[in-house]
Structure 1
Amino acid sequence: MAPADPWVSRSHRRQSSITSASFKSGSLTTSSPFIGSFEDSLLQGRMSTPPSASFDFVASIGVLGSSDLPMRRRCPPHLHVGFSAVFYASPGDPRSSPYVGTIDLYQHYLRLLDPPGVAAELPMPSAKLPRFPGYPVPERGQVQIVLKDSNETAFRPFLVPYDLTGLDRQGAGGRTFVRQKSYSVEQLDRKGRLRFAVHLQFCSPPERKRSRRSEAVRTPRYYLYHTIRVVFASRGSEPSDEWRIVRETPDSGATAINVDGSARFSPYPGPPDEWTMARKKAKERLKASAMARLEASTSTIEPPRLDLPSSPPVTATTLSHPIASTSTAGLAANGADERQIAIRLSTKDPKFQIPPAKFLVPASWRRFHLSELINKVLENDSPVPFDFLIDQTLLRSSLGAYCAATGTSEEVVLEVEFLPSTLPPQLESTTPSEDWVSDISLAVRGAVLTASYAGTLSLQHNDLPPPSTLTFAGHDLSVLSTCYVPHPLGSEDKRWIASGGMDRVGRVWEYSVPPLSLTAQPEVPAPTTLYTLSLHQAPISSVRSRPLPAVPTTATSAPHLLTAGWDGLIGLWDLTPGVNEGDADLEGADRKKKRRRQSTTVVNKTPMAALRGHTGKVSRAVFDRADVTKAYSAGWDHSVRSWDLSIGAEISSKTSDKVLLSMAQLTAPNLLATGSTDRLICLWDLRTDATQNISLTLAGHTAPVSAIAAHPTSSLMFASGSYDSTVRIWDARSPKQALFTLPVPKKEGDEDRSEPEKVLAVDWDGERLAAGGEGARVISWRVSGQGEPVANKE
Structure 2
Amino acid sequence: MDVQDNVPHVQAKFTSCNKSLAIPDHAFSIPQSLDQDELSKLVNEIIGNDEKKEFDFVINEELLRTTIGQHLTDRLIGNEAVVEIECIEKNAPPEPLHVLQHSDWVSCVQCHQKYLLSGCYDNKVYMWYDNEQLAVMEGHSRPVTDVKWINSVFFLSASQDQGIFLWKWSEGDQCADVIYHYKGHAQSVEKLAVSPSKNKFCSVSWDKFLKIWSCSVDDDADDIDPEVSIKIRRTAKGKESKPTTRTPLVTLAGHTQPVRTVVWPHEGELFTAGYDHSIRIWDLESNTTTDTLQGNKVFLDISYSEHNHLIASASTDGHVRLWDPRQQGGAMVQSTFQSHKGWVSSVQWSPSHTHQLASSSYDHTLRIWDTRSSRFLHSIAAHSDKVLCMDWSRHDVLASGSADNTLRTYTVSV
**Pairwise TM-score range, normalised by the shorter structure:** 0.7 to 0.9
Instruction: State the match for 1:60 in structure 2.
Output: none
The counterpart of 2:401, out of the listed 772, 778, 789, is 772
Kindly state the Cα deviation for residue 476 of structure 1 after the two structures are TM-superposed. 0.2
Are 2:215 and 1:571 aligned? no
Are 2:398 and 1:759 aligned? no
Change beyond 3 A, Cα 1:689–1:337: closer
Kindly state the Cα deviation for residue 415 of structure 1 after the two structures are TM-superposed. 6.6
**Whole-angstrom distance in 2 between the partners of 1:570 and 1:357:** 57
Are 2:156 and 1:528 aligned? no
Identical residues among aligned pairs (%): 26
Kindly state the Cα deviation for residue 667 of structure 1 after the two structures are TM-superposed. 3.6
Instruction: State the match for 1:623 in structure 2.
Output: 264
Kindly state the Cα deviation for residue 344 of structure 1 after the two structures are TM-superposed. 3.5
- Which amino acid in the other structure matches residue 139 of structure 2? G
Instruction: State the match for 2:233 in structure 1.
Output: none
Instruction: State the match for 1:507 in structure 2.
Output: 165
**Matches for 1:91-490 after TM superposition, within 5 Å:** 332=1, 334-335=2-3, 339=7, 341-342=9-10, 344-345=12-13, 358-362=27-31, 365-367=34-36, 370-371=39-40, 385-389=54-58, 394-395=63-64, 399=68, 416-442=85-111, 444-462=112-130, 467-486=132-151
Change beyond 3 A, Cα 1:406–1:726: farther
CA RMSD of aligned residues (A): 3.9
Kindly state the Cα deviation for residue 687 of structure 1 after the two structures are TM-superposed. 1.9
Contact 1:667-1:716 within 8 A present in 2 as well: no
Kindly state the Cα deviation for residue 650 of structure 1 after the two structures are TM-superposed. 2.3
How many residues were matched structurally? 399
The counterpart of 1:610, out of the listed 251, 266, 279, is 251
Change beyond 3 A, Cα 1:415–1:441: same
Instruction: State the match for 1:694 in structure 2.
Output: 333
User: Which whole-Å deviations, capped at 9, do the CAs of 1:625-646 have from their partners, x for residues lacking one?
Assistant: xx32222111111111112224
For 1:527, what is the secondary structure of its paired residue?
A: strand
Instruction: State the match for 1:738 in structure 2.
Output: 376
Change beyond 3 A, Cα 1:781–1:406: farther
**Whole-angstrom distance in 2 between the partners of 1:659 and 1:502:** 19
Contact 1:666-1:716 within 8 A present in 2 as well: no
- Which amino acid in the other structure matches residue 159 of structure 2? G
Change beyond 3 A, Cα 1:743–1:614: same
For 2:297, what is the secondary structure of its paired residue?
A: coil
For 1:784, what is the secondary structure of its paired residue?
A: coil
Instruction: State the match for 1:643 in structure 2.
Output: 282
Kindly state the Cα deviation for residue 406 of structure 1 after the two structures are TM-superposed. 7.4
Instruction: State the match for 2:231 in structure 1.
Output: none
Instruction: State the match for 2:228 in structure 1.
Output: none
Change beyond 3 A, Cα 1:458–1:408: same
Instruction: State the match for 1:729 in structure 2.
Output: 368
**Matches for 1:519-598 after TM superposition, within 5 Å:** 524-547=173-196, 559-577=199-217, 597-598=240-241
Change beyond 3 A, Cα 1:338–1:664: same
**Whole-angstrom distance in 2 between the partners of 1:347 and 1:607:** 53
Contact 2:135-2:174 within 8 A present in 1 as well: no
Change beyond 3 A, Cα 1:689–1:363: closer
Change beyond 3 A, Cα 1:500–1:343: farther
Change beyond 3 A, Cα 1:780–1:683: same
Contact 1:717-1:732 within 8 A present in 2 as well: yes
Contact 1:565-1:618 within 8 A present in 2 as well: yes
Change beyond 3 A, Cα 1:613–1:384: farther
Change beyond 3 A, Cα 1:388–1:619: same
Contact 1:344-1:356 within 8 A present in 2 as well: no
Are 2:136 and 1:498 aligned? no
Kindly state the Cα deviation for residue 409 of structure 1 after the two structures are TM-superposed. 11
Change beyond 3 A, Cα 1:667–1:404: closer
**Whole-angstrom distance in 2 between the partners of 1:619 and 1:733:** 28
Structure with the largest fraction of strand? 2
**Whole-angstrom distance in 1 between the partners of 2:6 and 2:101:** 54
Instruction: State the match for 1:707 in structure 2.
Output: 346
Change beyond 3 A, Cα 1:642–1:354: farther
- Which amino acid in the other structure matches residue 455 of structure 1? N
**Whole-angstrom distance in 2 between the partners of 1:408 and 1:687:** 27
Unaligned runs of 5+ in 1: 1-331, 488-494, 515-523, 548-555, 584-593, 747-756, 786-794
Kindly state the Cα deviation for residue 662 of structure 1 after the two structures are TM-superposed. 0.9
Change beyond 3 A, Cα 1:467–1:781: closer
For 2:376, what is the secondary structure of its paired residue?
A: coil
Kindly state the Cα deviation for residue 770 of structure 1 after the two structures are TM-superposed. 1.5
Contact 1:346-1:353 within 8 A present in 2 as well: no
User: Which whole-Å deviations, capped at 9, do the CAs of 1:745-775 have from their partners, x for residues lacking one?
Assistant: 55xxxxxxxxxx2111111222122111111
**Whole-angstrom distance in 2 between the partners of 1:685 and 1:447:** 33
- Bigger drift between 766-775 and 647-656 goes to 647-656
Instruction: State the match for 1:52 in structure 2.
Output: none
**Whole-angstrom distance in 2 between the partners of 1:570 and 1:726:** 31
For 1:439, what is the secondary structure of its paired residue?
A: strand
- Which amino acid in the other structure matches residue 482 of structure 1? V
- Which amino acid in the other structure matches residue 189 of structure 2? I
Kindly state the Cα deviation for residue 668 of structure 1 after the two structures are TM-superposed. 2.0
Unaligned runs of 5+ in 2: 226-236
Change beyond 3 A, Cα 1:384–1:573: farther
Change beyond 3 A, Cα 1:666–1:347: farther
Structure with the largest fraction of helix? 1
Instruction: State the match for 1:328 in structure 2.
Output: none
- Which amino acid in the other structure matches residue 253 of structure 2? R
The two structures have a TM-score, normalised by structure 2, of 0.82
Kindly state the Cα deviation for residue 376 of structure 1 after the two structures are TM-superposed. 8.0
**Whole-angstrom distance in 2 between the partners of 1:525 and 1:360:** 63
**Whole-angstrom distance in 1 between the partners of 2:142 and 2:210:** 20
Which one has more relative contact order, counting CA pairs under 8 Å at least 6 apart? 2
Instruction: State the match for 1:82 in structure 2.
Output: none
Kindly state the Cα deviation for residue 410 of structure 1 after the two structures are TM-superposed. 11
Change beyond 3 A, Cα 1:380–1:451: same
Instruction: State the match for 1:125 in structure 2.
Output: none
Contact 1:507-1:531 within 8 A present in 2 as well: yes
- Which amino acid in the other structure matches residue 572 of structure 1? I
For 2:39, what is the secondary structure of its paired residue?
A: helix
**Whole-angstrom distance in 1 between the partners of 2:224 and 2:184:** 13
For 2:270, what is the secondary structure of its paired residue?
A: strand
**Whole-angstrom distance in 2 between the partners of 1:438 and 1:617:** 18
